[in-house]
Amino acid sequence: MALNANALRWVPVFERLRQEVGTDDAPLSSYLYDLEALRCHAGSLTAALPPGFELFYAIKANSDEPILKTLAPLTHGFEVSSGGELAWVRSHFADTPIIFSGPGKTNTELTQALDLGVEALHVESRHELERLAWLARERGVTAPVLLRVNLAIEGLQATTLMMGGKPTPFGIAGDQLPDCLAWLRAHPEITLRGFHFHLMSHQLDAATHLRLLGAYLDQVRRWRHDYDLSTLDQVNVGGGIGVNYREPERQFDWPTFAAGLTELSTQRDGLTVRFECGRYVTAFCGYYAMEVIDVKHAFDRTFVVARGGTHQFRTPYAQGHSHPFRVLPVDHWPHSYPRPEVRGTRVSVVGQLCTPKDLLAYDAPVEHVRAGDLVVFPYAGAYAWHISHHDFLRHPHPRHIYLPAESPASSLD
Ligand SMILES: Cc1ncc(COP(=O)(O)O)c(C=O)c1O
């Protein structure tokens, strides 16, 4: 089973953890984050970008402080999508550039963004523009804005999660843009800095994503010309780079993508192009480990019942996949009763919830798994703990362990 080679660094950590808590009464579930792997990965993403392209991190994927501390010097800034995320970032990072996006912003959140001096606000509707203009006027400030546009793009290839290109609540539908641009001309308290697109998540193909970006840039150039827009300095092309949970050996090819961006650079028209990626930045650094409580058979299937579940690691259920995992054998078995085990078969890995939906992996081949072993799920650093319904059944929360980066992160120049 494919598992990031860095996972082997975790084996001694797991072993120590098990010694600490691995009694019959307290089987283990734990999140482990490899900050050194995160540092290397994020550093390589930004290093590959050609001039004129910037990578912001969408903190909704994982906003833990050690994760953000690792990423702050390696990325160009953070994208936040709520007042809570905004306050969290500002309380820990006084100077990191912030962009504020997301649907359904309240007046309180818009005010907070103006007061905390965000780099840009991504506005989702004409009504949000009106409210922002009113708040900016009251404060005597100018609001830096990107209009998020929901655009129907010819030949757009759908992924498993589409945010636009079809009717969705996100952004301003393309046909309403002329009206918004006319309104903006009469409202100097808002500066139109650019346009924002985030039409999809889970993009796995670099060439397809480059074509999509090319279409965005062409569209912006046409708007700039047709509406004589003189204040633009950027295009935000969203996040959406996917992680291939189903075929982990075939991940999005960032080096090829970055090389393609160099060719795309002529279409930038002098504008800075910003990414706000979440999943692809942090998924690879995280692991979710569960201790096996039972191994049992029902009809023609074998179930590995492990400590924790989808209330702690919702990613497989949210994405509808069988999550890859690896069994870490734990030889220590202090009990006098027999140890349930299976060899050379296919299993479903389930958690402790009273629902058949608590399924993390299915039809997955294992060589050998026993009660007391650990099953470890990689690619658990993004949209994992942070999207899970933690207190369902009130099980104890998993431990969160951060393996520190080995050397201090180097700053971006
Ligand atoms: C507006 C916006 N930007 C960025 C992201 C991050 O997307 P991803 O984690 O797929 O890169 C999201 C995710 O939902 C989003 O809605």
Average of pLDDT values for 336-358?
97
Average of pLDDT values for 123-141?
97
Asked if residue 237 is part of any domain, the answer here is yes
Task: With a cut of 70, say whether residue 126 has pLDDT above it.
Answer: yes
- Are 228 and 179 found together in one domain? yes
- Are 243 and 295 found together in one domain? no
306: CATH: 2.40.37.10
- Are 255 and 319 found together in one domain? no
What domain range is 355 assigned to? 5-33+284-403
Average of pLDDT values for 219-237?
96
- Are 118 and 267 found together in one domain? yes
- Are 302 and 269 found together in one domain? no
- Are 78 and 195 found together in one domain? yes
* 285 carries an active-site annotation: no
The predicted pLDDT at position 153 comes to 79
pLDDT in tens, 369-403: 999 999 999 999 999 999 999 999 999 999 999 98
Q: For residue 202, which atom of ligand 1 is closest to its CA?
A: 10
Split at pLDDT 50, 70, 90, the class of 332 is: confident
Which among 255, 283, 311 is the end of a domain? 283
- Protein residues with CB under 6 Å of any ligand 1 atom: 58, 61, 101, 198, 201, 238-241, 276-280
Which among 235, 264, 283 is the end of a domain? 283
- Are 12 and 116 found together in one domain? no
Asked if residue 412 is part of any domain, the answer here is no
DSSP, collapsed to helix, strand or coil, labels residue 135 as helix
If you average pLDDT over every residue of the chain, what do you get? 92
Task: With a cut of 70, say whether residue 22 has pLDDT above it.
Answer: no
Q: How many domains does the chain have?
A: 2
- Are 26 and 74 found together in one domain? no
Protein residue closest via CA to atom 9 of ligand 1: 278
Task: With a cut of 60, say whether residue 411 has pLDDT above it.
Answer: no
The predicted pLDDT at position 13 comes to 73
Average of pLDDT values for 34-47?
97
Between the CA of 243 and the centroid of ligand 1 the distance, in Å, is: 13
136: CATH: 3.20.20.10
Average of pLDDT values for 214-234?
96
Split at pLDDT 50, 70, 90, the class of 407 is: very low
- Are 119 and 157 found together in one domain? yes
Range of weakest confidence among 10-14, 197-201, 224-228, 264-268: 10-14
Asked if residue 147 is part of any domain, the answer here is yes
Between the CA of 276 and the centroid of ligand 1 the distance, in Å, is: 7
- Are 135 and 215 found together in one domain? yes
The predicted pLDDT at position 201 comes to 81
Split at pLDDT 50, 70, 90, the class of 410 is: very low
- Are 224 and 330 found together in one domain? no
- Are 260 and 297 found together in one domain? no
